[in-house]
Amino acid sequence: MRREALMVLAFGIVLTIAATALAHERAQQHDRQRLADRAERLGDALRDELGRPLEVLRAVPSFFAANDGVPSRAAFGVFVRDALARHQGIAALEWVPFVRDADRDALGLAITEQASDGTMQPRARDALYAPLLYAEPPDGIAFGYDLMSEPVRRASVLQARELGQPVGSRRLRLVEDPEGVFSLAVYLAVYEGGARPDAIANREARALGLAIALFRLRPLLEPLVAPVVREHVELALIDPDAPEDLRVLYETAPGVASDVTSFSREVEIPFAERSFRLVARPGAGFGGARTDTLVVLVVGLVLSVLLAWGASGIARVRALEDEVRSARRLGRYVLERKLGEGGTGVVYLAKHAMMKRPTAIKILRGADRERAARFEREVQMASRLVHPNTVQVWDYGRTPSGELYYAMEHVDGLPLDLVVREEGALPPGRVVRIVRAIAEALDEAHALGIVHRDVKPANAMIAVRAGTPDAVKVLDFGLGKMLGAELTDGAAFSHEGTMIGTPVYMAPEQISAPDRIDARADLYAVGALAYHLLTGTPPFVGETPLAVATMQLRAEVEPPSQRLGRALPAELEALVMRLLEKDRARRIASARALIEAIDALGGVVPFGDDAARAWWASRGEALRAKMVAEQAAGGGAVDVDVERRVA
C-alpha cells in the first residue's frame, strides 16, 4: 500500500508541477498580449500626433505660393503663430533661404558661422549659403546663421533640396531645455510656384529655401504615454539608424532603450523620411504571479481542456465585407463611406492617402452665400479649439466645383442620441460624467468667445480612446457664434425661413433674441441634454419645431424624477432644473461654474471606468458595429480633384 501511496503522491506532485508550469506560461502569454496591445495603441496615437505638425510644415509651400514667393517677416509670423498655438509640440518654425555668393551682399543680413569658442563670426566665402532669415518665436542670436557651415546640417539641407520631401535631423538639445529633453528638426524645401519639380536637376535651380519645424519631444509625448505609464509600462522612443550616443529620443525610465528583453515589444513609428522605434517593456507592478496552488491547478487543467478542444478542429470563420464602390478621393484623402448628414453638410469617413490616418471629411453641398459663410466660419472657429473633449480640425479646401470641405479628427464612437434611443434613461452617475466632460469642452470655447448654439445629444459622442471608456467628444460648431461679432445669422430663422438650431435644446433667449445670446444659452442646452439622458426624453416634445419653440418660451419644465417615474438624486435634479431656468440670470453663470457645481454634488453613485468598460464590452461595441453597418449601406465613391486652401 505504501508503494501505491507514493505513486499517487508522485503523480500528484508531477501533475501540480505541470499545471503550475502551464498556468505560468499562460499568464506570461496574457501579459505579453496586454503589453503588445498597449504598445500598438500608443504607436497609433504617436503616428497621429507626429503627423499633425508635419501637416503644418507641408502647408508652407502653399502659403508661399499664395504670396507669390517669399512672404514678409510679418506675414510669416502671423501664419506661424497660429500653427504654434494649435500644435504645442512645435517649438519653432523657421525660414532659411538659399543665397548664392553673388547675392550675399544684397541680402542685407550678416551671414555667420560658429567659431571654435562658440561665438558667432562672419561666414567664410562659399558658393551657396542657407542663413536663418525668419524664426517664430524670434531667435536674435541665430539670425543669419548659415546651416551650410556645419557638415552634418549641410548634408541634410542638400538632401531636403534634392528630395522635395520632409527630411528629419538627428536628435538635438535646445539650450533652454534640461538634460535628457531632446528635440528634432525637420527640413522641407520650398520651390518657385509651390510645387516640387519632377526632375531632380530642376529642383536645385528652382529651390527658394527651406521651411524648418523644430519639435520638442517631451511636451509632445508625455500626454500620450501617461495612461500607459500608469499601467506600469516603461517606454522609450529611439532612432535606430542614429549613432549610439544619439539613439535615445525619449525614455520614461533610464535604460529602457538599451535593456531590451524577450518580453519587450517594439513598434515602428514613421516620421518624415525616417522610421523611429517605440520600445515598451513591463515595469515593476506589471502583471502578477499566481500563488494559490489549487487555483493554479484548476486554471491549468481548464485551460488545457479548452486549448485541446480548440485545437481539435473547431474553426472560426469571419465574413469579409466586399467593397461595392471605389473610394472617393479628395486631394490627399480617400473617402470610404458616408457617416451621416446634418444641417451644414455631409460627413464621410476617409483616410489620409499616405499616412493612412482615419479622418472625417465634411462637405458642404449646394450652398448659397449665407451657408458658405457659416461653413467657413465653422472651420475658423473649430480650428482654434484644442481641448481633448472637442473634435480637432486638421485641413480645409475646395473641390473644383467650389464645394467647401474640411478634414477633422474621426471619433470611432457613438452619438448620445443613439445611445439613449437604444438604452433609454442612463444612470445618474454616467450622466454626471458625460455632462462634466461636455462642460470642459465648452469652458475652452467660451473662454475664446465662442458659443456653440447647437449643443444636443447628436452633437456629442462617447468612445473608448487610449484605453479610457466613455471619453466624450463635442462636435459640429457649425452654428457657433463669436460673442460680440456682427454675423449674418443673428436671428432665430435663416433667410429661407428655416429655424437655426434645434428647438428641443434651444434656450428661450436664443428663440426670442438670438442676437443677444451669450454662453448661458449653451448651459441651457446642456441642461436639456442632461434631462434627456436622465429621463430618455427631452424636456419638451411637440408636433412641429414651432410648437416646441413656443413651449421653450412659455411652458414650465416637468421635474426629471416626475417624468421618469422614480426618484433621482435631489442635488442633481436641482442642478438640471437650475440650468433650465428661462431667466438666464438665474442659471449657472459659466461652464467653469457648472464643473465646480458638478464636483460638489452629493448623493450620486459614481459611474467609474470599470462600469463604463463593462458597458462597452456588453453593449457599446455591438451598438457601434450596428451603426457602422447602417452607415456602410449608404456609402458611395467617385474620384474628384481638389484645390487645396490654407486657412
Residue 640 has pLDDT above 80, yes or no: no
Domain residues for the domain of 439 are 412-633
Task: Note whether residue 346 is domain-resident.
Answer: no
494 has pLDDT over 70 = no
pLDDT per position as a tens digit, 285-295: 776 544 444 45
- Which pLDDT belongs to residue 400? 62
Q: Which pLDDT score is estimated for 496?
A: 45
Q: Which of 194, 215, 236 is the last residue of a domain?
A: 215
Assess if residue 501 is contained within a domain. Answer: yes
Whether 477 is covered by a domain: the verdict is yes
Residue burial 398-414, b: 16+ Cβ < 10 Å; e: rest: bbeeebbbbbbbbbebb
In which element (H, E) is residue 35 found?
Answer: helix 2-66
Question: Exposed, middle or buried: residue 127 (CB in 10 Å: 0-12, 13-18, 19+)?
Answer: exposed
CATH number, domain of 621, equals 1.10.510.10
**Tens-digit pLDDT profile for residues 221-272:** 888 888 888 888 889 899 988 888 888 888 888 888 887 777 788 899 888 8
For residue 278, which phi and psi values (nearest 5 degrees)? Answer: -90, 125
Residue 236 lies in a domain: no
Residue 7, in any domain of the structure: no
| Domain tally, the chain | 2
pLDDT tops 70 at residue 36 = yes
Residues serving a catalytic function are 454
Q: In percent, how much of the chain has pLDDT > 90? A: 32
Q: Give the separation between CA 509 and CA 188, rounded to whole angstroms.
A: 51
Q: Comparing C-alpha atoms, which of 330, 299, 411, 281 is closest to residue 639?
A: 330
Residue of 233, 290, 286, 239 whose CA lies nearest to 256: 233
Count of helix runs (H) and strand runs (E) in the chain:
17, 26
Residue 342: inside a domain, yes or no?
no
Other CB atoms within a 10 A radius of the CB of residue 36 amount to 13
Q: Tell me, yes or no, whether 588 lies in a domain.
A: yes
**Domain end point (choices 215, 243, 271):** 215
Place of cell 448651459: 523
71, amino acid identity: P
Binding residues for ATP: 362
Is residue 10 domain-resident?
no
Q: What is the pLDDT of residue 327?
A: 40
- Mean pLDDT of all residues in 153-157: 88
* Binding annotation: 362
Identify the weakest region by mean pLDDT among 219-223, 226-230, 318-322, 402-406: 318-322
Query: Scanning the structure block, which residue is given the C-alpha cell 459640429?
Result: 476
| Cell (9 digits) for 397 | 479646401
Q: Are strands 481-482 and 450-451 parallel, antiparallel or unpaired?
A: antiparallel
Taking only the tens place, the pLDDT of each residue in 40-50 is: 998 888 888 88
CATH at residue 172? 3.30.450.350
Between 129 and 5, where is the model more confident? 129
The residue out of 190, 215, 240 marking a domain boundary is 215
Whole-number Å distance between alpha carbons of 212 and 602: 53
